[in-house]
Homo-oligomer: A and B are copies of this chain.
Amino acid sequence: MADDKSTSSIVFDGSVTGGGGSTGGCRWNPTKEQISLLENLYSQGIRTPSAEQIQEITTELKVYGHIEGKNVFYWFQNHKARQRQRQKQEQNHSNNIFYYNQFLLHHKSLPPPPLFAPAPRNNNG
């Protein structure tokens, strides 16, 4: 499905180096161990590791194969986003009770709302 994109030529030359050779792919190809470890960390609650964390994780994962900090960073980004996406698809549940305090609503009849009245100043419209 690579229609006429032509916009991006990609400067990626695959000089990822470091790899033990293998297929010398252009993009990082995580090993089972690496994925397992990453998923474990994610499961532990790590969603957006700090730079330091990324460094540590990268170092750890290097034992199982070539990897860089950016790979770790991207992995968490993508994983979180895709997990979210999948969850969203499951949004079949009925009500979407949102964030609203019933506190005010209990007032029911709602008297004249002066709250937002004294603000005739600039409007963002």
A positions within 8 Å CB-CB of B: 5, 7, 12, 15-20, 23-24, 26-30, 32, 35, 44-55, 68-71, 73-75, 78, 82, 90, 93-102, 104-106, 108-110, 113, 115-117, 119-121, 123-125
Contacts and interface: CB of A to CB of B under 8 A. Distances in A.
Contacts of A94: 5, 7, 48-51
A100 to B, nearest CB: 4
A92 to B, nearest CB: 8
Report the copy number of this chain in the oligomer.
2
Dominant secondary structure at the A interface:
loop
A69 B100 CA distance: 8
A104 B74 contact: yes
